[in-house]
Amino acid sequence: MTDRTASWTVSMPVGVVIRRTPGVTRWVKWHTVPVAVLPGAAPADWKELRREGEAVEYHAATVPITLHRAEIEAYLVSLNMARPAVFVILDRDETGTSPDGYTVTKVTASAYEAQDYLDSGESLVESVPMPVLLASWIDDFVKMHYEYEPFVKRQRNKSRVDLHEDGIGDARVVQDADVYRAPGSLKKRQEH
């Protein structure tokens, strides 16, 4: 097995920092949003990192970010954004252990996978700036597995499309009615 095939999938633990601030309306009591990721973080469960008045930042969870060789194109999209980003997926907390009712489900560097979660409508998806260490790790993985596929322009076939066509149907088959055949072809057939 070559070095390239040995690492078709790699993984790294990533801590998710979530900032919780008071809501600005009476209908939303708290506003919770992921603000950062910590590559190589230790396990955590809503550990308070910093407090500024009523705003609190938590190390909410540490989950693995996994890169797959089949998703290289999606990683290139994330790396080439105006501001490179990873995506944090949050789902409703069924256990009730989180302070705001959401739990970190996944962190992904795939812009396409994040779009799939957004399309489902069941999860919250937030982009978070990609740290330089994580960007370098993803870029190395992409360089190892990326294969350039040159654009090949499709060649037209040489059939003539501008020639006269009677319509759909075989003129050799006699039919009482054919809504697809042009009326002109019916007259020609009757003359013979």
* Of the listed ranges 28-37, 120-129, 146-155, the one predicted with least confidence: 146-155
- 93 pLDDT above the threshold of 90: no
Residue 104's DSSP bridge partners are 90
Strand pairing category for 9-22 and 55-68? antiparallel
DSSP 167: B
* Confidence category of residue 187, pLDDT binned at 50, 70, 90: low
- 24 pLDDT above the threshold of 50: yes
CA distance 72 to 2: 19
CA distance 73 to 113: 11
Classify 180 in phi/psi space as left (phi over 0), alpha (psi -120 to 50) or beta: alpha
In percent, the amount of the chain with pLDDT more than 70 equals 80
The reported pLDDT for the residue numbered 14 is 94
The reported pLDDT for the residue numbered 6 is 58
The reported pLDDT for the residue numbered 167 is 54
- 153 pLDDT above the threshold of 80: yes
The reported pLDDT for the residue numbered 1 is 40
Mean pLDDT of the chain: 82
- 154 pLDDT above the threshold of 70: yes
The reported pLDDT for the residue numbered 150 is 84
Average pLDDT over residues 34-60: 89
Q: From 148, 143, 150, 149, select the one nearest 69 (Cα to Cα).
A: 143
Task: Find which of 61-65, 92-96, 144-148 is predicted with most confidence, using mean pLDDT.
Answer: 61-65
Structure tokens at 122: 């069941």
Average pLDDT over residues 77-93: 90
Structure tokens at 183: 């009326």
CA distance 136 to 139: 5
**Alpha carbon 77 to its chain's center:** 10
Q: How many angstroms separate the most distant Cα atoms in the chain?
A: 96
Give the neighbor-by-neighbor strand order of the sheet with 9-22: 30-39, 9-22, 55-68, 45-52
The reported pLDDT for the residue numbered 113 is 92
Average pLDDT over residues 34-62: 89
**Alpha carbon 102 to its chain's center:** 21
* Confidence category of residue 172, pLDDT binned at 50, 70, 90: low
The reported pLDDT for the residue numbered 3 is 57
Q: From 122, 47, 117, 119, select the one nearest 86 (Cα to Cα).
A: 117
